[in-house]
A and B are shown apart, each in its own frame.
Chain A
Amino acid sequence: MPESSGQSGDLKPAAEIDKLIHEPARLLIMAYLYVVESADFVFLVRQTGLTWGNLSAHLSKLEAAGYVDIEKEFVDKKPHTMLHLTEEGRGAFQVYRQSMKQVLDDLPD
């Protein structure tokens, strides 16, 4: 079965793509959180164009996966939520980028 094993070898990078990050809205959220140290909900709503509820739902999934850390803090005595990527999230995003690059580079012209 050399043909099939060769095929599975070629498709390995594609199979390793992190499906959680691959979703466009979550990819956008991860990209914004990757380039900054931390940001709040309002900033992400403005930058990504997602609705509040949509953003909240995606962030819950990313938080459950351990990619995003949600921190409650007080600004001017008012509760405020800041978000940042965890080390695991940063690592996962880097791996995702490398995997995607490899998959796209390996595509025939």
Chain B
Amino acid sequence: MYNIDLKEIERRAFRSTFQDGIWDIYLGLLLLLFGIALSLLEFGIVIEWIGVIVITLCLLCMGFFIAGKKYITVPRIGRVTFSAARRSKTKNMTLLLTISFIIGVVLLAIRLVGNEDLFGWIAPVPFPALLFSAVCLVTFSSGAFLLDNIRFHLYGLFYAFPFPIVVILKSHTDMIGLWLLAYGIPSVLMLIVGVVLFYRFLRDYPPLTKEVLHDSVH
């Protein structure tokens, strides 16, 4: 009891804010969105419409994330402000995710308008695909470190590999639905992990009832 590991206490408290599965569901939905966008292009949907669909779904995903944290997580586990050092880490993570998201969108746009030659080609995988994979791996590994969340390493692989794999396969086959398949499988796995964590979170952290909130027996 008296051999208190304060670092471990802080880490445990911080990790508890990530056990709701909402990050997993959010990132899974975004990955699925990549697959849907590229598949729509494959199925001949006009690029303007794809843009509208992607932006709308992206906003819905963000809405789910913000609402989930605000109305489900915080009322159940409480409100906390971590130390300045921890807040700085989280800010860096947010910045990193934002930059990588912008890079991802730019690369996706380049892919959608078919202007892949912009970056030149490194056979057999185009440079944008390699860059996208590298950005994903660096971002998610940094995320795993900054957020003390080991699952992010795996998610980095899930985000990094579909793009170059499909680009390579596309040079050998004209099979339709490759994008959806390549992005769909990892995103569904992420969604399953997220939903399981979310279920556990709801089970383990029921909302505090008025009786509990006003309990003054002890």
A interface with B by C-beta (< 8 Å)? 24, 27, 31-32, 34-47, 51-54, 56-57, 75, 80, 82, 97, 100, 104
Contacts and interface: CB of A to CB of B under 8 A. Distances in A.
B1 A24 contact: yes
B171 interface: no
B1 A46 contact: no
Given A31-B6, A46-B77, A36 B215 contact: no
B68 to A, nearest CB: 16
A43 B205 contact: no
B140 to A, nearest CB: 26
Nearest to A42: B78
B113 interface: no
Contact of B216 (A56, A97, A100): A56
A39 B217 contact: no
17 contacts: A27-B1, A35-B7, A35-B10, A35-B83, A36-B81, A40-B80, A41-B78, A42-B76, A43-B13, A43-B77, A43-B80, A47-B13, A51-B218, A53-B218, A54-B218, A82-B81, A97-B4
B122 interface: no
Contacts of A46: 16, 76-78, 205
What 10 A-B pairs are tightest by C-beta distance, nearest first? A43-B78, A42-B78, A35-B10, A54-B218, A53-B216, A39-B80, A37-B81, A53-B218, A40-B79, A52-B215
A24 B3 CA distance: 12
B51 interface: no
A41 B77 CA distance: 10
Contacts, number: 83
Given A31-B6, A32-B9, A40 B213 contact: no
Interface in B86-131: none
Nearest to B216: A53
B79 A31 contact: no
A47 B19 CA distance: 13
A36 B12 CA distance: 12
B9 A31 contact: yes
Nearest to B84: A37
Given A31-B6, A46-B205, A97-B4, A51 B82 contact: no
A104 to B, nearest CB: 7
A41 B216 CA distance: 14
Given A42-B75, A52-B208, 11 more contacts: A31-B9, A35-B7, A37-B84, A39-B79, A40-B78, A46-B205, A51-B215, A51-B217, A52-B212, A52-B213, A53-B215
Nearest to B4: A31
